[in-house]
Amino acid sequence: MKRGGLSATKPATAEIQEIADKVRCEVEEKEHKKFPEFKAVEYKSQVVAGTNFFIKVHVGNDNFVHLCVFRSLSDEDMPLTLSRYQTNKTKEDELT
């Protein structure tokens, strides 16, 4: 994948679930609620000056949240950053 391009949608892996888990508290704080579940189901990635991960997360019932999480090139120096997120998404909504 060339820099700046968005990958194809892929099934979530254990690494992607771990990334989602690390930003879960931040999303719940911003939304002022606890989600009954937080299961990453699919993702896309984008190489920039690091990597953006676009992650679709099932949060219970028919509700999904889309996350954009940035990981710098040297992730040891910088923590993951929740760049943005979208609520009220469905299973059919495409990650963009």
Inside any domain, residue 37: yes
**Domain limits at 28?**
10-89
Count of all residues that appear for the chain in the document? 96
Inside any domain, residue 26: yes
Inside any domain, residue 30: yes
Inside any domain, residue 58: yes
Specify the number of domains making up the chain.
1
Q: Phi and psi dihedrals of 73, rounded to 5?
A: -60, -40
| Residue 20 tokens, joined | 């989602």
Inside any domain, residue 94: no
Inside any domain, residue 64: yes
As averages over each run of 10 residues, the pLDDT of the chain (96 residues) reads 80 97 97 97 93 97 97 76 96 93
Q: What is the CATH number of the domain that holds 69?
A: 3.10.450
The pLDDT tens digits for 53-80 are 999 999 999 999 999 999 988 756 677 9
pTM: 0.92
CA dist., res. 76 & res. 79, Å (int): 7
